[in-house]
Amino acid sequence: MLFRSTILFSIALAFILSSCAPQHADLVVAKFGDSEIKMNEFENAYVKNVGNVDVAKKDSLSKLKSFLDLYLNFKMKLRDAEVRGYGEDLALKEELTDYKKKVGVTYLLEKNIVDPGIKNLYDKKKWELRVSHLMIRPDSSGEEAARKFTQAILDSIKSGKSFEGMVSKYSQDSFSKKDGGDIFYVTAGQLPIEFEDAAYNTPKGQVYPWVVRTKYGFHIIKVTEKKERVPQIRASHILVSFNNAKGVPDTAYAKAKLDTVLRALKSGEEFGKVAMQYSDDTGSKERGGDLNYFERRMMVKEFDEAAFNLSVGQVSDVVKTNFGYHIIKVTDKKPYPTFEEDKENLKKIFKQTRYQGEYDSLIAHLKIKYNFRVNDKNLQIIASKSDTVKVGGDHPKMAEIKDTEVLSYEGNSIKAQEFLNKLNGSSDYLNKLITYDILKSFANKIGADYMLDAEALNLEKTNAEFASLMEDYRNGIFIFKLQDDEVWSKISFDSTKLYNYYTTTKNNYVFPDRINFSEIFSRKDSLINHYYDLLKKGNDFDSIAAKYTERPGYAEKAGNYGLVEINNSPLSVEANKLKNSGDYSNPFANTGGFSIIKLVAKEPSRVKTFEEAKAEVSGAFQESESKRLEQEYIDKLKNEYKAVIYYDNLEKAFKN
């Protein structure tokens, strides 16, 4: 009984102690002033820095400690920026607002339009539809008459009339009419948006219940097949042309040759060899009939349908097209790509087919949300006072109209001066006379920009991801200003400071072994040998180089390269083999021609003079001063905020 009581007491005590112990996320890893850095904040910051949590879990304690040191400095700097009132600094607020607009608009368009759009496109393109349609084009009787006529046909189909029969009787698409309206297999991104949306919302075997309008006319749509899409197949074929060897149409000859091909295949001969021997497709026969990979609709309809219905390795029956008789073998099928693999292609298709419509819808929604208004009456007034004034020029009556309201939205009023300045900066309207139509067109266009800016400025309130992005940027500009105030603006130096720094660090500025040489270069070995003979007869090297060297830009320097490092090039290596100043080499082959090298001088490694090293000294001095001032600033913050780091707790990071 006593033993049992002891156990229960121990369990209860352990529970009490564990309840009192801080949760992993609440472990304090550092303190400064009244602020704490807890484990959860540290781990999130570290993961953000290294990319993902799996990398973070594998990193050593020393890496975690180094990052915590830097993160503590970062947090103290932000606290200092707050104390200094950077959040109310007008220049910083303006910079942040500009950035918020630019990034926010891009973010809005990507997240609200592009990302969902390409995901929807990806999901749709997993499927292919076989579609038929009946099309009526508007004529002189007008749009409404054409729509009503198409609707009457659709009503007849709904009442039981044959779709194909009505196509044969009424459709004005001559290409598909003879096939009952069949336009073959399609997938998302290949058809007008209105047509595509209707087709994808129609069950297999049914007619879409409404008339669809596209730029081509009015459509009644029927979906005859829906199946998972194979993006690409690879196939080989053997073509037997309808023509004989002389190029004359000869049915008997073609069938006899086809029989020969079929017998060869049935006897077990390899498909590729038969193609190389008999195929009339000169473009593929040398490759054993290989046509490489292709998508739907890239081949003629009969070929396409047969090929895409074959399994890998399967050989088709004879397929007849306008080109002749084909025997097809499918050799591979590509699987549907992952979203990431197809992402860029999806973006391209989406922007070509759907982006503008989605963009217009978003702008229309924002105009309602922000109560966007164009003041037509004032546009008429401005137009009346702009007689003969062209876009891009000075407006003679600007003083009179500058405060006239043109646009308004959510408490904002855009006046004529701002509006006309933006109009003058638009290349779309440059040098056009300012008319009401021009002003109205630009008002609607610029209205989209104002709406996107307004939404971008509010995005931080509703989108946590964007708010985090803005916080990062805000912190960045605060840190940048602190660095400027505490470090960069405090670095001052003159020639005396630089020289004193040089004297203490001059061994850091050293020339390596160098060599000065000249070259005579020619693209022809006969000429280089001639110049060599002239040198042996006592002619001056520099004179020959100045007159004859073919190296671009070197004749005026008598072929001289100046001082360069010994291993700078094959030429400097060759020059270093010479012993005495004035010695010259035998002719030797060089890239693009032939060379003779003369040694001018050798200079052993030495410390650079102050003047020679001045640029390097200046850079090193600035770096040294930056580090010193940065450390002084950090030490001041640590002392002011009495910073403490709990490395023992840090050992538990990423262990939960």
Span 81-128, pLDDT tens digits:
999 999 999 999 999 999 999 999 999 999 999 999 999 999 999 999
- Domains of the chain: total: 4
C-alpha separations of 511 from 398, 500, 563, 599 in Å:
66, 20, 10, 19
Q: What is the pLDDT of residue 22?
A: 66
How far is residue 514's CA from residue 564's CA, in Å, rounded to a whole number? Answer: 5
pLDDT at 20: 44
The residues, ordered by sequence, that sit 6+ positions from 409 with a Cβ below 8 Å of its Cβ are 367, 370, 371, 372, 373, 447, 450, 451, 454
How far apart are alpha carbons 449 and 452 in whole angstroms?
A: 5
- Match 């307004």 to its residue by tokens: 454
Residue 597's nearest CA partner among 550, 545, 553, 527 is: 545
Evaluate whether residue 403 is within a structural domain: yes
Whether residues 357 and 463 share a domain: the answer is: yes
Q: How far apart are CA 424 and CA 421, in angstroms?
A: 5
d(CA 45, CA 154): 62
- Residue 211 dihedral angles phi and psi, to the nearest 5°: -70, 135
Q: Do 180 and 222 meet the contact criterion of CB atoms below 8 Å apart?
A: no
Q: Phi, psi (5° rounding) for residue 271?
A: -55, -45
pTM score: 0.74
Of 19, 16, 21, 69, which Cα lies nearest the Cα of 46? 69
Q: What is the extent of the structural domain holding 146?
A: 127-228
- Provide block-wise average pLDDT over 10 residues at a time, the chain (656 residues): 41 39 86 95 94 92 95 97 94 94 95 96 97 96 95 97 97 96 96 96 97 97 97 97 88 93 95 96 95 96 96 96 96 96 96 94 96 96 93 93 95 95 93 95 95 95 93 95 94 91 96 97 96 96 96 95 95 96 95 96 96 95 95 97 95 88
Indicate whether 118 and 131 sit together in one domain.
no
Q: Are residues 363 and 465 in the same domain?
A: yes
What's 245-286 look like in SS3? CCCCECHHHHHHHHHHHHHHHHCCCCHHHHHHHHCCCCCCHH
Token pair for 383: 């137009």
Q: How many CB atoms neighbour CB 382 within 10 A?
A: 22
In a domain, 40, yes or no: no
Q: Say if residue 451 is in the same domain as residue 383.
A: yes
104 inside domain: yes
Q: How far apart are CA 145 and CA 139, in angstroms?
A: 9
Same domain, 362 and 459: yes
To 10 degrees, the CA torsion angle through 238, 239, 244, 250?
Answer: 120
Of the candidates 648, 482, 643, 652, the one whose C-alpha atom is nearest the C-alpha of residue 71 is 643
Asked if residue 306 is part of any domain, the answer here is: yes
- Are 142 and 205 contained in the same domain? yes
Residue 214 lies in a domain: yes
Residue 505: inside a domain: no
Residues 103, 82: Cα–Cα separation, whole Å: 24
350 and 462 co-located in one domain: yes
pLDDT at 9: 39
Domain end position, chosen among 588, 607, 626: 607
Instruction: Give the number of C-alpha atoms closer than 13 A to the C-alpha of residue 295, restricted to the C-beta side.
Output: 9
Residue 634, in any domain of the structure: no
Instruction: Give yes or no for a contact between 73 and 637, defined as CB atoms under 8 angstroms apart.
Output: yes
**In 314-397, where does DSSP find H-type helix?**
339-353, 355-369, 376-384
| CA–CA gap between residue 242 and residue 253 (Å, rounded) | 8
Half-sphere exposure of 555 (CA within 13 A, CB side): 7
- Whether residue 472 is found in the same domain as residue 592: no
Both tokens of 470, joined, read: 């803005």
Given this model, what pLDDT does residue 246 score?
Answer: 82
What CATH number does residue 326 fall under? 3.10.50.40
Residues 516 and 582 in one domain: yes
Are 325 and 374 in the same domain? Answer: no
**Domain end marker among 272, 306, 335:** 335
Q: Write out pLDDT tens, residues 274-306.
A: 999 999 999 999 999 999 999 999 999 999 999
Q: Would the CA dihedral through 542, 548, 552, 555 be positive or negative?
A: positive
Domain final position from 313, 335, 357: 335
- Could you tell me if 347 and 360 lie in one domain? yes
Evaluate whether residue 415 is within a structural domain: yes
Phi, psi torsion values for 248, nearest 5 degrees: -100, 135
- Same domain assignment for residues 422 and 543: no
Q: Are 182 and 346 in contact (CB under 8 A)?
A: no
